[in-house]
Amino acid sequence: MLLITGASGGLGSLVAQRLADRPDVRIGTRRPTGPSGPSQVRVDFDAPQTLDFRGVDALLLISAGYGEDDEVISRHEAAIAAAERDGVRHVVYTSLTAEGDHLPYALAHRWTERRLAASPSLAWTVLRNGLYAELLAALAAPGPDGRITAPLGRGRLAAVAREDLADVAVRVALDPAAHAGRVYELVGDRPLSGADLAAATGSVYAPATLAEARAALSAPGTAPFQPPMLVGTYSAIAAGFLATPDQGTLRTLLAGPPRPALETYKASLPQQLQQTQPSGA
Ligand SMILES: NC(=O)c1ccc[n+]([C@@H]2O[C@H](COP(=O)([O-])OP(=O)(O)OC[C@H]3O[C@@H](n4cnc5c(N)ncnc54)[C@H](OP(=O)(O)O)[C@@H]3O)[C@@H](O)[C@H]2O)c1
């Protein structure tokens, strides 16, 4: 039996779609919506009574959202400890690309990788996911004035389509023993710059400074951890830390070329922004 967690999230829902109707798969999420296809179970790392993994051979542990490090770490600890207690054999964990070490949210991922490596009973596989092309659409969309002001500097991002990461997660989770002890770097094959995004959307790339971005992000209603998280992401891209393209791992695990990240970026923008006019045109 394979159990996946986080099935309502952007990545988890793509995984769940791919595993629909398989009798040997359970779909876990904090808020099950009812049994449509494979059996859904409530799995909330913050609610210990929902962490019943008896009968589960492999667990696809999708990293648990945003939050302060102590919050995310305690969620992952709860999931891994329950897996050990209930005799799960293998945990497949969705982590963060090695080049993301400078990102503010890297710590909880690395903690979780170490926790798995130190487990006395679990086999594991680490999927080090690159930043999503869909995330780039949220971070660097053209504004209504036809300008992309995201502070990406001259940096480029080896963004990857979530669909590709879902394909790999499914492949690995369905045959985990073949991937035991492996750490896979899953990044896109064509790093994208702010100028690439502008050219693809008919906009102008006019990057702001990090300070300007931080000020814009610090509007009322933003959670306190969000501005440093987002500014840290811009900063790492601008400084060139996330630009190394796929060295063949993603292509091999997909058994073919990755989806074009630029197309995914465009398709993830609100419809009216997918082809804006250059300002002054
Ligand atoms: N590589 C990237 O660019 C990137 C970008 C954003 C996030 N991430 C990380 O990758 C994960 C998956 O990405 P995504 O796009 O699917 O994120 P998302 O759409 O924001 O979904 C959040 C995910 O966190 C899970 N979660 C939150 N709190 C949880 C808890 N208490 N117990 C169990 N699960 C919990 C959710 O599960 P439910 O089904 O229960 O809602 C859902 O799968 C994120 O959670 C985050 O850690 C990566």
- List the CATH number of the domain containing 96: 3.40.50.720
Residue 209 counted as domain residue: no
Q: Among 68-82, 93-107, 221-235, which stretch is predicted with the lowest mean pLDDT?
A: 221-235
Residue 178 counted as domain residue: yes
Residue 205 counted as domain residue: no
pLDDT at 280 over 50: no
pLDDT at 223 over 90: no
CA pair distance 118, 49, nearest whole angstrom:
25
Q: Which ligand 1 atom lies nearest to the CA of residue 135?
A: 3
E-only strand ranges, the chain: 2-4, 25-29, 40-42, 58-62, 90-96, 123-129, 147-148, 156-157, 183-186, 192-193, 204-205
Token pair, residue 96, equals 């963060």
Residue 136 counted as domain residue: no
CA pair distance 190, 114, nearest whole angstrom:
30
Task: Provide, rounded to the nearest whole percent, the portion of the chain with pLDDT above 90.
Answer: 87
pLDDT at 274 over 80: no
Mean pLDDT, the chain, integer: 94
Please give the average per-residue pLDDT across 74-103, as a whole number. 98
CA pair distance 29, 202, nearest whole angstrom:
39
Residue 196 counted as domain residue: no
Task: Provide, rounded to the nearest whole percent, the portion of the chain with pLDDT above 70.
Answer: 95
Query: pLDDT, tens digit, for every residue of 108-133?
Result: 999 999 999 999 999 999 999 999 99
Residue 47 Cβ < 6 Å to ligand 1: no
Domain around 105: 2-130+160-189+245-258
Nearest CA to ligand 1 atom 6: 135
Token pair, residue 5, equals 């967690």
Mutate to test the pocket of ligand 1, among 62, 165, 226 (most ligand atoms within 8 A of CB): 62
If you measure from the C-alpha of residue 194 to the centroid of ligand 1, how many angstroms do you get, rounded to a whole number?
26
Residue 83 counted as domain residue: yes
Residue 230 counted as domain residue: no
pLDDT value of residue 278? 42
pLDDT value of residue 277? 44
Residue 227 counted as domain residue: no
Residue 135 Cβ < 6 Å to ligand 1: yes
Count up the domains in the chain and report the number: 1
Residue 7 Cβ < 6 Å to ligand 1: yes
- CB-based contacts of 118: which residues, under 8 Å, 6+ apart? none
Count of CB atoms situated within 10 Å of the CB of 202: 15
